[in-house]
Amino acid sequence: MAYVNPLHPPVPASQHSQFSTLGGAVKPTAAQTASAFISPFRRRVPQPPYTPASKWRAATGRTNQVHSAITFDYVGYSKQGVPMRELSTRSAAALGSMIVGAGDPVLAHTGLSRITLRIIWPGYEHVDWARSIEVNTNGPITRAQLATIVSQNFARYIEKTRSEAARASEWQIGPSCIRYEHLVLIGLCNVFEDVWQADVAVDLR
Please determine, for residue 24, whether its predicted confidence score (pLDDT) is greater than 50: no
Residue 181: strand, helix, or coil = helix
* DSSP letter, residue 173: B
pLDDT value of residue 62: 53
Calculate mean pLDDT across residues 29-41.
63
- Residues 37-58 pLDDT 10s: 999 999 999 988 898 876 555 5
pLDDT value of residue 162: 85
Q: What is the pTM of this model?
A: 0.79
Q: How far apart are CA 121 and CA 58, in angstroms?
A: 21
Give how far Cα 133 sits from Cα of 108, 119, 145, 197, Å: 14, 13, 11, 12
Give pairs for 163-166: CB < 8 Å, separation 24+. Answer: 164/124, 164/126, 164/127, 166/123, 166/124
Pick the range with the lowest mean pLDDT from 8-12, 99-103, 115-119, 135-139: 8-12
* DSSP letter, residue 26: H
> Please, which residues have CB within 8 angstroms of residue 4's CB and are 6 or more apart in sequence?
10
